[in-house]
Structure 1
């Protein structure tokens, strides 16, 4: 497939992973530097990320060859539905946040991992599809494994203010995990983009 046009290219060119890396990194940084790790922030941030990512997946899926197109487009549709669901009800709380993100992560992670396995010997990006898929599916499993009533008290000694204490609740923990996943995903996709963009050396045989 040619990567000259359109702007978002096919999923195994360098443009698509770079376009996916940007919203992931933005989501991770917003969560990292926000003091509010509530489910509302998680739903709003995930919703925007998912809608933008869905646009990238759908555009790149339309440019893909027939063997890859179906699963990429399905991944884009599922991502769009999850993003819209998160944005429609940002006040849904933890009981809404967990199933939206976990269902999306498990389904789309499995779809991407399947493409990675199918084309592991035929496409340069297949190994990265597999890694991204497994990483995303693991996010979904972690969301399901953390109890929604989780609460862990902490106390940290501070020289200036004495002892600082608080409680890490399930929404704080899960939104933090979402942010960490987004940064890891964004960095990995950026590396993929630059590795696919770099020209590959052509081997030449020297006759004796």
Structure 2
């Protein structure tokens, strides 16, 4: 058995991680990046707009994570991933209903509590999954980092006062104000950007480590046959 540093690093990725995991990370980065771009380049950050963007990203991500849970054979954390998928689908569907329905329920307070509840519960699920998956690997670090920033989003958004409306001016004395809608939606946009970049980096890193693992296994097999 190879006990070199390279061998240990390969074992950290090990045979327990299916090849498709890095692809799922990459697919999950797409809606997050798109959501961040839409929020960044849209001026009107109302609660209804926030519900629509957050709902679309959450639902899209929930579907992708659902396919990961049921479609990847030998997934090490299938139950946790499936729970996260269901939660994302529910939060996404509810948010889209709030944002697109012909009613007045899409208030900033409702948006704050929807995002905060989803983020705190989802973050907790991911952090618990990281503790359950004890192997030190790139995959575990992605789960922990993702869970940490998701829970942080929930805590930060939960503390946004719904009545916030602070007026500001500027060098050109342009009138405006920082409202709870703008702040809460802005936090969501920042979260999407950070999460998207994190998932891309982790997916590329995991793919690279898996290639090293496969090369190491091939080399070990060749040495065994020759000996």
Deviations 1:20-62 (A, max 9, x none): 1000000000000001111111000011101110011111011
For residue 57 of structure 1, what is the aligned residue in structure 2?
Answer: 65
Contact 2:138 2:205 in 1 (8 A): no
User: Of Structure 1 and Structure 2, which has the larger fraction of its residues in helix?
Assistant: 2
For the residue of structure 2 that corresponds to 1:65, the secondary structure is coil
* Partner of residue 54 from structure 2, selected from 46, 58, 77: 46
Long gaps (5+) in structure 1: 4-8
Alignment-derived partner of residue 70 in structure 1: 79
**Structure 2 residues not aligned, in runs of 5+:** 1-16, 221-227
Query: Which structure's residues are more often strand, by fraction?
Result: 1
CA contact (8 A) 1:120 1:127 kept: no
Contact 2:165 2:177 (8 Å CA) reproduced: yes
**2:7 paired residue number:** none
Q: Residue 151 of structure 1 aligns with which residue?
A: 165
How many angstroms apart in 1 are the aligned matches of 2:90 and 2:78?
A: 18
In the alignment, which residue of structure 2 is the partner of 1:179? Answer: 189
What's 2:91 paired with? Answer: 82
Secondary structure of the equivalent of 1:153?
strand
> By how many angstroms is 1:200 displaced?
2.2
**1:154 CA drift (Å):** 1.2
Partner of 2:34: 26
* Matched position secondary structure for 1:157: coil
Highest CA radius of gyration, 1 or 2? 2
Count of residues paired in the alignment:
193
Quote the RMSD (CA, aligned, Å).
Answer: 1.9
Distance 2:115 2:89 in 1: 12
The TM-score, its normalising length taken from structure 2, stands at 0.80
Shift of 1:89: 1.5
CA apart distance, 1:120 = 4.1
Residue in 1 that maps onto 2:205: 195
Residues 32 and 193 in structure 2, CA contact (< 8 A), matched pair in contact too: yes
